[in-house]
Amino acid sequence: MLNETHDPELRSWVASANLAGADFPIQNLPFGVFRRQASNEQWRIGVAIGSDILDLSQVAEHFSDLDHATLAACRASNLNQLMSLTPVIWHSIRVQLSRMLRQGSGLQAALEPLLLAQDEAEMALPAAIGDYTDFYASIFHATNIGSMFRPDNPLLPNYKYVPIGYHGRASSIRVSGTQVKRPHGQTKAPDAAAPSFGPCRLLDYELELGFWVGQGNQLGQPISIEQAEDHVFGVCLLNDWSARDIQAWEYQPLGPFLAKNFISSISPWVVTLEALAPYRCPAFERPADDPAPLAYLDSPANRSAGGLDVVLEVSLQTANMREAGQAAEVLSLGNFRDMYWTFGQMLTHHASNGCNLQPGDLLGSGTISGPSKDSRGCLMELTWRGQEPIQLSNGEERRFLQAGDEVIIRGWCGTANGLKIGFGECRGVVLD
Q: Give the Cα separation of 336 and 108 in Å (integer).
A: 37
Tell me: is residue 264 an annotated ligand-binding position. yes
Q: Give the Cα separation of 283 and 306 in Å (integer).
A: 5
Q: Give the Cα separation of 142 and 366 in Å (integer).
A: 10
Q: Give the Cα separation of 115 and 104 in Å (integer).
A: 17
Partners of 123 in the β-ladder: 34
Tell me: is residue 11 an annotated ligand-binding position. no
Q: Which helix (H) or strand (E) is 88 found in, with range?
A: helix 87-101
Spatial CB neighbours of 68, under 8 Å, sequence gap ≥ 6: none
Whether 141 is catalytic: yes
Spatial CB neighbours of 80, under 8 Å, sequence gap ≥ 6: 127, 128, 359, 360
* DSSP of 10-36: --BSSGGGGSTT-SS-TTT--EEEEEE
State which amino acid sits at residue 12. S
Tell me: is residue 393 an annotated ligand-binding position. no
Tell me: is residue 94 an annotated ligand-binding position. no
Cα three-residue angle 211-165-80, rounded to 5 degrees: 30
Tell me: is residue 58 an annotated ligand-binding position. no
Task: Work out the number of other CB atoms within 10 angstroms of the CB of residue 58.
Answer: 15
Q: Which of 68, 91, 141, 184 is catalytic?
A: 141
On whether the CB atoms of residues 51 and 16 are closer than 8 A, the answer is yes
Q: Give the Cα separation of 237 and 364 in Å (integer).
A: 9
On whether the CB atoms of residues 114 and 59 are closer than 8 A, the answer is yes
Spatial CB neighbours of 230, under 8 Å, sequence gap ≥ 6: 86, 87, 214, 215
Spatial CB neighbours of 67, under 8 Å, sequence gap ≥ 6: none
Tell me: is residue 132 an annotated ligand-binding position. no
Tell me: is residue 247 an annotated ligand-binding position. yes
Residue numbers belonging to the annotated binding site: 134, 136, 150, 206, 208, 240, 247, 251, 260, 264, 367
Residue numbers belonging to the annotated binding site for substrate: 136, 150, 247, 251, 367
Residue numbers belonging to the annotated binding site for Ca(2+): 134, 206, 208, 240
Which active-site residues does the annotation give?
Answer: 141
Residue numbers belonging to the annotated binding site for Mg(2+): 240, 260, 264
